[in-house]
Chain A
Amino acid sequence: MPYPEQMVVPMRNELVEMGVQELRTVEEVDRFFEESKGTYLVLVNSVCGCAAGSARPAIGLAIQHPKRPRRIATVFAGQDLEATERVRNLIGDVPPSSPSVALMKDGELVHFVPRHLIEGRSAEGVALDLIDGFDKFCD
């Protein structure tokens, strides 16, 4: 059951203020995936502490790296249920976890950071994982 929307607004805004595109409906998810070429990243956001302390700040650090995906978006697990389910279907045969980060290239999942590689880690440590993926797959 979703949390009251006013409680999660700051968790959404933190990413939006970084320039991350929110995808809140199935249609928005489909459009984002159809229009994206090259590399694009989707963060599955959540209300948990490791999203607040690690995943969201890690995105903020990682996108400062010179090599980065062309587009970055987010869906909110537990809040925008259908949009999140749609992303999970599109990234492939990967167990659902949140927070998690999927780096896509030309429609294929090329780098994935599941929840267990975020929980208990610093934002800087997670950012380094993302940057490793950016260096390997992004232009």
Chain B
Amino acid sequence: MGTFHDTTDPLHGITVIAFAGDTVHVGRCHERDEQQIVLLDADEHTEGQDDRTVADYLDRASRFGVWKKHERLVLAVADVERLTPLSEYFRNGDKAPSTVVAQESPVEPAPTVESSAVADPTAPVNLTDSARGEVRRLLAQEENRGQGLRLGINGGGCSGLVYNVEFDRRKDGDIVVAEDGFDIYLDRKSTIYLRGVTLDYQQGLSGRGFQFQNPNASNTCGCGESFAV
């Protein structure tokens, strides 16, 4: 029945947009090499077709999918400017990260950051002393008065889930974690992913600011902002 996928191409089986001049082709990426890209169950749209711009077409396609026009569509690599996963276009629109037509290199894991506190795997979330100090300093600023630290996760990013860090007021349903001098607010759906996670803060020229260390992440993108479990 042919369900074995004999490929390591990260785009295999992923619905992509192939941008080719004023035409876009949308379909499931089946295979690609130096000469051609093969899309399955594909559709296409040219600027102005049916009085719709490509942007309008992609907006609807990213939300609902496309009507199949071709069982199998073969595109010449020379004609394709870039490939973008349709799911990325849904999240980021025109700013979606484009994929080079050649196969990508493996994603490097994020560097390990030293923690100055032992993480408690059962706590809703942990902060290092460095992170606590920086949060207190920022919350003391006029525009953040009366707020706490909101931590959460959202779907998206190159690895599946992204961390959210912001200053916010408490909302109904929040889980509140009392720290020395401030509160941390967590929404319920995020707590299952943040348990055992440590928020660290690295300053200085080589520092990367706030960083999450997640012992449960099976994959983390190079920027450290997106992860999968």
Contacts and interface: CB of A to CB of B under 8 A. Distances in A.
A28 to B, nearest CB: 25
A8 B192 CA distance: 31
B63 A95 contact: no
A114 interface: yes
Contacts of A65: 188-189
Interface stretch (B45-53, B65-73, B122-130, B177-185): B65-73
Which size class do B's interface residues fall under? 20 to 34
Interface of A: 3, 47-50, 65-66, 94-97, 100, 112, 114-117, 119-122, 124-126, 128-129, 131-132
Contacts of B63: 112, 114
Contact of B90 (A94, A117, A128, A132): A117
A128 B3 contact: no
Contact of A122 (B62, B68, B228): B228
B87 interface: yes
B176 interface: no
The B contact surface, by secondary structure, is mixed
Contacts of A125: 155-156, 160-161, 228
Nearest to A93: B64
Interface of B: 1, 3, 13-15, 62-68, 85-87, 90, 153-156, 160-161, 188-189, 192-193, 228-229
Contact of B65 (A48, A49, A97): A97
Nearest to B26: A116
A66 B188 contact: yes
Contacts of B153: 128
**Chain A CB within 10 Å — which of B153, B154, B156, B160 has the most?**
B160
Given A95-B65, A112-B63, A115-B15, A122 B189 contact: no
Contacts of B1: 3
9 contacts: A114-B63, A114-B64, A116-B15, A119-B14, A120-B13, A120-B14, A124-B193, A125-B156, A128-B154
A128 B155 contact: yes
Contacts of A97: 65
Nearest to A7: B1
Contacts of B65: 94-97, 100, 114-116
Given A119-B13, A125-B156, A125-B228, 18 more contacts: A3-B1, A47-B3, A95-B66, A95-B67, A112-B63, A114-B64, A115-B65, A117-B87, A117-B90, A120-B85, A121-B155, A122-B228, A124-B193, A124-B229, A125-B161, A128-B155, A128-B189, A132-B155
